[in-house]
Amino acid sequence: MEYRKLGQSPLELSAITYGAFAIGGNMWGGNERKDSIAAIHASIDHGVTSLDTAPFYGFGLSEELIGDALVGKNRNKMQILTKFGLVWDGSNEGKGEYFFDATENGKAIPVYKYAAKQNVIKEVEESLKRLKTDYIDLLQLHWPDASTPIDETMEAMQVLIRQGKIRAGGVSNYSLEQVKAAAGTFNLASNQVPYSMLNRSIEQDLLPYTTAHNIGIIAYSPLERGLLSGKYFADATLKSDDHRNDYFGQFNPEKVKALLAALQPLAESKKASLAQLVLRWTSLQQGISVVLAGARTAAQAESNAKAMDITLTADELLFIRQELAKH
C-alpha cells in the first residue's frame, strides 16, 4: 500500500481508501452487517488506513458500522473521513436547499443540502457519537449548498479545527469556482469528486487548479459503482431498489464492453482483475491524491487493496489512454 499526503493538510492517507457508501444499505439494496464489518477489517489487514463515510449513508448506519469495526483498533493509525450537509430528519426546519427524496421502507424522505454553521457543529457531534471517536480526521461538505454562504461553512470547519474535533476540512462535489471561493477563506485540504475512465471531466479545469495549488483530490466512483469491473455484463444482477439500475443507464454498454475487452489482456498479464487494473490506473493519474473503493465483503476489500501491487509502465499507461480515446 502507498500512503499519500492530502494537499497541505497534516493527513497522510492510504492510496486506496475504503468507501463506505454501499454498506449503508440505502440505495444499494440493503446490507449485511457481518459482511460489512468483515470488509472493513479486511481492508485494514491489507494496509488500508483511511475510511470514508457520511451520515447520509444508511441514515447513520455506515458511520455506526465504522465505529463498531474500529473498536479495539489503534485509532491513531487510522484516518476517518466523513461528511456533513445532507439533512433528512427534518431538523433543518425547512431551511437549506431541497435536494431529492430518498426512500426508506417504501416511504419518501425529503433530503436537504444544509451547510449553515450551527448545522455543521450539530452534525459533527452526532457523527462523533456514531463513530465512537473524539475527533474526525477529515470533515467534508457533502454537496454544495446554495442557500449558505461558502465562507460561513468554512468558518464552521475552522472553529472545529480549533476545538480539536477535526484535523482538516474539505469539500465534495465542488466546482472550480466554488473551490476557489472556499480556498480564499480556509486552508482547504481536498475536494472529493467523481473521476473514472468513463468520467474525466475534471481534467479540463478543476484538476490543473488543485494540482497547482496543492489541494487534494479524492476520486470517488472510480469503478462507476462496479460497472468497470465487468461483472454486470456477465451474470451479476441488481435488486430492484438498487440505484445502479438507473445509474448505469448514462453509459453506452457496448462501448464500455469494448473498452473492457481491450483492457482484459493487460489485466491478465498482470494477474489482476479488471477492477484492480482500473483502480491502479486511477491512482496513477496526475493530481489524484487517493481513490475511494467500496467493498461489501472481505474478498472485495482484499482485492481492492491489492490493486496497489500492480506496476504499470509508461507504455502501458499510454496504451490505456489510447483505448480510452477510442471508446
Q: Using alpha carbons only, what angle is made at residue 10 by residues 225 and 122, rounded to the nearest 5 degrees?
A: 70
Which cell is 187 given? 486552508
3-state SS, residue 43 = helix
Strands (E), the chain: 3-5, 12-14, 16-19, 50-52, 79-84, 86-87, 97-104, 107-113, 136-141, 166-172, 190-194, 216-220, 290-294
Q: How, if at all, do strands 86-87 and 107-113 pair? A: antiparallel
User: Active-site residue among 3, 18, 57, 220?
Assistant: 57
57 is catalytic: yes
Is residue 159 within 8 A of residue 122, CB to CB? The reply is: no
d(CA 270, CA 268): 5
d(CA 5, CA 193): 17
3-state SS, residue 250 = helix
d(CA 40, CA 271): 24
User: What number of H helices and E strands is found in the chain?
Assistant: 11, 13
Q: Give bridge partners of residue 141 from the DSSP assignment.
A: 84, 171
d(CA 80, CA 13): 10
Is residue 1 within 8 A of residue 14, CB to CB? The reply is: yes
Active site residues: 57
